[in-house]
Amino acid sequence: MIAGLRPLFPTPFILANKQGRVLWRSTGVNAAAGLLPLATENAFRYFPLQTGDQILLKDPASGGAGDEGFVVVTALDPNSELAALATWVPCPGTDGFKAPPLPIRLGGGLNDQILAALPPAAVEALRPRLDEAFGYARRLLAMPSSLRPSGKELEGFRSQSRKKAKALLGEMPWGEFRSEIALRSGEALRLRISVEEDGLHCDFSGSSPAKEFALPIVATTGFVRSALADFFGWSPFSEAGLEGLIDIRVPTDCCLNDAVRGSGALSSRGGPLLTLLQSALSKMPGQTQQGLSNSCDLGLRLRFTDGRELEWRLPSGAGAVEAAENLSFWGQRAGQSRGSIEKWESAAPVRVVHFSERNAPAGKGRVNGARGFHLHLILGADARGTWADFSPAGRPKLEKHQGPFDNAEILLRRGGREEPLKPGAHDFKAGDELVLLSGSGGGLL
Amino acid sequence: MRQVIGIHLGASFAEACALDESALSRTSDPAVLSGKGKPLASARWYLPRQPLRTSLPKWIAENGLNPSALYISTRSLERIYDFRMGGTTAQLVTRGVERWPFLSGTPIQPPSFFRPSPPLALSSADLCFGVDERVTADGEVETPLSLESVEAIATKLKVQEVKKICLHFLHAGRNPANENAAADYLEKQGFEVFRPSHSGDENADWRANTLDASLSGSMEELRGEIEKAIDGLDLQGRVQFATGHGDWMWDRKDRRLSSQFGADRLLRRDTDTPDTAVLDFGWDAWRVIKTGQPCTDWKSPWGPVHQPSSARRDLFLQPTQALRIDEAGAVVAGDKSETYEPGPLWLGRGQKPLVADLLGEKVLAEWAAATAPTRVASALQALVKSGAENFRDAAQMSAHLHKTWAARLNRELWLERDWKNVRVRGPFASLWWPSLQETWKDRAELDETTDAELVARAGLREGPR
């Protein structure tokens, strides 16, 4: 019954009580699974919210979206289990924007002063989502009593999902499963997953402090929770009951718990964490054999001398799945199917020479992993480019049935010579050629 | 008085309706009030048992009809979307993007990050060829078309007996010189050439063009079936499909995909108030169509496709979903919509009980097989026994699920947006009307017009004669 309450939003959302306890979470693997509950709790802590009031959160330390946009918390019925709708809204041009939680709508009207302080492109992205969520709150309040979920119904949902969640954990094999990977940027990530009588524990002790790769703990827990739900196929119904049964321990001095350095673009930083998680989870007995996914996207931003910008985020290929040859990056990144050569070439001085899947699959074997992208560009003007890369250095320790995956690469062709580019910032000249190769997934041997 | 027939062709069912010009009168017209504006005759057929080629002429003869035109809306090609497309369609693409990644297709909602499934193929990679040509974003011809490379490909395709070719050249919308040259040559060689529209996003344009080409075989079969059905009637050259573009066509190759959106356009046109939710409980699919919101892109199984369509979404419940027991022991509708092939138990086909079996007895009764009541009863009883909800019998289970689904439907619709009106239609509308009426009061309207009547009426009003 509660499924009828889901808003039909395209971006991640939760329905929760004012302590941030989740009643329903949209599916998908993302940092938002951790950000949104914290944002909800903080919004109610800082503001006496009434139905329809909305709070914008930017700082991940308080549950905000970091560089990529905002979290919007909309108050529904503050004194019920259905107290808030929190959603993640990507907003271009808001990276570097710092702000405490902002009351964008109190008592019905939007705060124009706050909107005026944001870049126009961000307001364009934000306003429809604010209106959608506000409309949802208003309609929920006006819902005929015959349709409105009663407190008893919501409590019944919680207790049923709790029972189901316990049963799911009870079916898991007890034991300890470890994995570790080193990143090109110098950090080491370590994970010990243990399944015990009282629940599932994820312990990141031993992971190193941040150099270039960092995530705030709230994003780390979001990736872990949503990845576990996806890996085990938990439905939102059973997931709502898992709170308190999944324990995530992240030491304060490690890169997965660094609120200062980890406050940038969060969604692109989940890659190595997801690879680490899949590596540990695939050691559990009874799991379907699968190649290891290279979950790190290739992200390149070019800023030309005339101020025009282009940004690519090319997804990597998924790990091979039994009886599913010809997987592609689409298997995991369906939302990123909008890239258009005509648009890129019209928006900035670039010419695309080649665009396809990479030639060779990485994890050759009985079943190949999915290939990444191959994008070859010629720059028509000088530009400064930034490549943020957090791919694993070398290969993580693989299971017997797993073949290796390929990491992302960028090759620079200049003056008849070709050389691999190092991650970081670079100055490019007109006529430079860049070959972008996103990672390929590992195979099944 | 001019008389026409409207036909709506779904994947498994068809509806027909005969009208004459009195049907165009407004409801205040005394002629309509006296019954003259009503359909002259109507029919519905379950196509696997009652194919159009025999059912249509028989119905026309039995009702003494003398139509001057046949107008068709169809969604019948939707059933082939699940299969591999483009097996015999070649693509000539600007060299460098012949392994165009977006042609591989993409599930809109991947089932799982860690358990991905292969994408739907929209075209055959073996029939994708790079051609030496290039137009820049400014419309300058940087590399003129190499006719030699086109000739070599054409020779190869003739050997392979490929007859359809899509031309997908970058920035051809800015300067079509290379596209024109290739099309001229290939058409002279006897190929059927498909050229995309140019909206500025080649992915959406090329997908639409590929689909037009890929659907041509199925469209020919459909037209063949209709031609057989009208054989002997004086209707040759007077049969037209409604399209999503707002025009009518019989054999336009750039409107094959568009023909699948004709029924939605007619609904949109027939609904006066914007912000009306049309709940279409059709034979094959249950959808909400947002009449005030025309779309330029269709969210297809392969990604966005440039195509005039309506904002629509499938409802959470579909008539062909199989019933199953979920993780909590409750009887629920499965995640995936099956098809009517082999069909619900009521039609004497299939093995699994579907939503249509649980709720659709009255709707499907006219085609019910003799053994159907027993088969349906035992399948539903098996669900009662396997579930953990302690239903007394199948009737109680059915009533419970019907009530639960109606509440969910109402909640979803209520929370989706501020609908001014809710229009409920389709052969299964009667199942949901009481509950929708209770929630939406005088903002709800039960529309008993069939899709066939809608297309007949539109044909009378605006269709080519």
The nearest CA of chain A is from the CA of B14 a distance in Å of 32
Confidence at residue B33, expressed as pLDDT on a 0 to 100 scale = 45
The nearest CA of chain A is from the CA of B166 a distance in Å of 18
Average pLDDT over residues B59-78: 92
Please tell me if residue B351 touches chain A, with a CB cutoff of 8 Å.
no
Confidence at residue A372, expressed as pLDDT on a 0 to 100 scale = 86
Of residues A143, A230, A334, nearest to B106 (C-beta): A334
Is the pLDDT at B26 greater than 60, yes or no?
no
Confidence at residue A325, expressed as pLDDT on a 0 to 100 scale = 63
User: Which of A147, A231, A235, A281 best tests the B interface by mutation, with the highest count of B CBs <10 A?
Assistant: A147
Confidence at residue B85, expressed as pLDDT on a 0 to 100 scale = 59
Of residues A3, A235, A333, nearest to B408 (C-beta): A3
Biggest alpha carbon–alpha carbon distance for chain A: 73
A331, B118: Cβ pair inside 8 Å? yes
* Of the candidate ranges B120-134, B301-315, B334-348, the one whose mean pLDDT is the lowest: B334-348
The nearest CA of chain A is from the CA of B201 a distance in Å of 6
Taking CA–CA distances from A335, the nearest residue in chain B reads B108
Stated pTM of the model? 0.89
Listing DSSP states for B64-107 in one string gives: T---SEEEEEE-GGGGGGGS---TTEEEEEETT-TT-GGGG---
A135, B418: Cβ pair inside 8 Å? yes
Cβ(A40)–Cβ(A56) below 8 Å: no
Six-digit token string for A284 = 């559990």
- What ranges make up the beta strands (E) of A17-93? 22-25, 54-57, 69-75, 84-90
Please tell me if residue B325 touches chain A, with a CB cutoff of 8 Å.
no
Chain B 408-437, residues with CB within 8 Å of chain A CB atoms = 408-412, 414-418
Taking CA–CA distances from B118, the nearest residue in chain A reads A327
Question: CA of B116: how far to CAs of A227, A321, B113, in Å?
Answer: 13, 8, 6
- In this prediction, the residues of chain A whose per-residue pLDDT falls under 70 are 1, 263, 323-338, 361-364
Confidence at residue A364, expressed as pLDDT on a 0 to 100 scale = 65
CA A252 to CA A259: how far, in whole Å? 10
Average pLDDT over residues B334-357: 82
CA Rg value for chain B: 24
The nearest CA of chain B is from the CA of A391 a distance in Å of 18
What angle, rounded to 10 degrees, do the helices at B262-270 and B451-462 form? Answer: 80
Cβ(B317)–Cβ(B279) below 8 Å: no
For residue B305, name the pLDDT band (cuts at 50, 70, 90): confident
Of residues A5, A351, A373, nearest to B101 (C-beta): A373
The angle subtended at Cα B191 by Cα B187 and Cα B194, nearest 5°, is 80
Average pLDDT over residues B216-237: 88
Of residues A29, A238, A328, nearest to B104 (C-beta): A328
B416, A337: Cβ pair inside 8 Å? no
CA B377 to CA B375: how far, in whole Å? 5
User: Which of A284, A337, A357 best tests the B interface by mutation, with the highest count of B CBs <10 A?
Assistant: A337
Q: Strands A13-16 and A22-25: what pairing?
A: antiparallel
For residue B270, name the pLDDT band (cuts at 50, 70, 90): confident
Q: In chain B, which residues have their Cβ closer than 8 Å to the Cβ of A28? A: 113
Confidence at residue B31, expressed as pLDDT on a 0 to 100 scale = 46
For residue B351, name the pLDDT band (cuts at 50, 70, 90): confident
B114, A230: Cβ pair inside 8 Å? yes
CA A267 to CA B127: how far, in whole Å? 37
Note the Cα A83 to chain centre separation in Å: 25
How many beta-carbon pairs below 8 A join chains A and B?
161
A422-426: long-range contacts (C-beta < 8 A, 24 or more apart)? Answer: A423/A184, A423/A185, A423/A387, A423/A388, A423/A389, A424/A386, A424/A387, A425/A384, A425/A385, A425/A386, A426/A384, A426/A385, A426/A386, A426/A387
The neighbour count for residue B117, using CB atoms within 10 Å, is: 15
A355, B200: Cβ pair inside 8 Å? no
Confidence at residue A94, expressed as pLDDT on a 0 to 100 scale = 87
Q: In chain A, which residues have their Cβ closer than 8 Å to the Cβ of B106? A: 328, 330, 334, 337
In terms of DSSP H, where are the helices of B160-288?
177-188, 202-214, 216-229, 262-270
Average pLDDT over residues B379-389: 91
Please tell me if residue B119 touches chain A, with a CB cutoff of 8 Å.
yes
CA B357 to CA B375: how far, in whole Å? 10
For residue B32, name the pLDDT band (cuts at 50, 70, 90): very low
Cβ(B206)–Cβ(B103) below 8 Å: yes
CA B372 to CA B193: how far, in whole Å? 49
Please tell me if residue B104 touches chain A, with a CB cutoff of 8 Å.
yes
B203, A227: Cβ pair inside 8 Å? no
Q: In chain A, which residues have their Cβ closer than 8 Å to the Cβ of B327? A: 164, 235, 237-238
Sole residue written with tokens 């020919």: B220
Backbone angles phi, psi at A374, to 5 degrees: -130, 110
Q: In chain B, which residues have their Cβ closer than 8 Å to the Cβ of A348? A: none
Q: In chain A, which residues have their Cβ closer than 8 Å to the Cβ of B201? A: 338, 340, 342-343
Which has more pLDDT, A146 or B272? A146
The nearest CA of chain A is from the CA of B109 a distance in Å of 7
Q: What is the pLDDT of residues B411-449, one digit of tens each?
A: 999 999 889 899 999 999 999 999 999 999 999 999 999
Cβ(A337)–Cβ(B203) below 8 Å: yes
Confidence at residue B107, expressed as pLDDT on a 0 to 100 scale = 53
Please tell me if residue B308 touches chain A, with a CB cutoff of 8 Å.
no
Q: In chain B, which residues have their Cβ closer than 8 Å to the Cβ of A339? A: 102, 203
Note the Cα A264 to chain centre separation in Å: 13
Biggest alpha carbon–alpha carbon distance for chain B: 76
Q: In chain B, which residues have their Cβ closer than 8 Å to the Cβ of A332? A: 110, 113, 116
Q: In chain B, which residues have their Cβ closer than 8 Å to the Cβ of A3? A: 316, 408
Backbone angles phi, psi at A273, to 5 degrees: -65, -40
Is the pLDDT at B157 greater than 70, yes or no?
yes
Please tell me if residue B389 touches chain A, with a CB cutoff of 8 Å.
no
Please tell me if residue B83 touches chain A, with a CB cutoff of 8 Å.
no
User: Which of B93, B94, B98, B114 best tests the A interface by mutation, with the highest count of A CBs <10 A?
Assistant: B114
